[in-house]
Amino acid sequence: MGFKEFLGERLSFLDHYSKFANRDKPLPSWSDSDVEAFIATDPVHGPALKTAREAAKISATGSVIGAVSTAGFAWKYSKSLHGSGLAFVFGGLVGWTVGQEIANHSLQMYRFDTLAAQTKFLEWWEDKSE
């Protein structure tokens, strides 16, 4: 198996989004009320999309907490601007990862196919916006 096949297998989820990303005219942006309308109208994929959005909020909160706390810790003890900047980036990445794991367990994300829910939303938005 070559490198191209290896990457194609690992990144096959991108095929779901390619029809939306490779359009001649991009999809118009949507608002939270549009997403809520989809969640209310789709009883199968709506709850999965709602849970995925909640998980993203938890992950973003973890990222902010991780970034600020590690950058503050680095600044307090080193007074190094570049060290604090690196700690900010690394803390944000670790915070996002920890937040995602907390969301996965607390919201039981393993029960949902969030990729299918996001694809269905994009299809719904494409139909609605045309």
* Average predicted confidence (pLDDT) for the chain: 88
Question: Residue 1: its pLDDT value, please?
Answer: 60
In which domain, by residue range, is 102 found? 45-130
Q: Domain for residue 80, yes or no?
A: yes
Q: Domain for residue 19, yes or no?
A: no
Q: Domain for residue 16, yes or no?
A: no
Let me know if 77 is exposed, middle or buried by CB neighbors in 10 A (0-12, 13-18, 19+).
exposed
Note the pLDDT tens digit of each residue in 52-105.
Answer: 999 999 999 999 999 999 999 999 999 999 999 999 999 999 999 999 999 999
DSSP 28: P
Confidence band for 116, pLDDT divided at 50, 70 and 90? confident
Q: Domain for residue 115, yes or no?
A: yes
Check whether 33 has a pLDDT greater than 70.
yes
Q: Domain for residue 29, yes or no?
A: no
Total count of domains within the chain: 1
Q: Domain for residue 31, yes or no?
A: no
Check whether 24 has a pLDDT greater than 90.
no
Q: Domain for residue 65, yes or no?
A: yes
Q: Domain for residue 57, yes or no?
A: yes
Task: Write down the residue that tokens 């915070």 correspond to.
Answer: 95
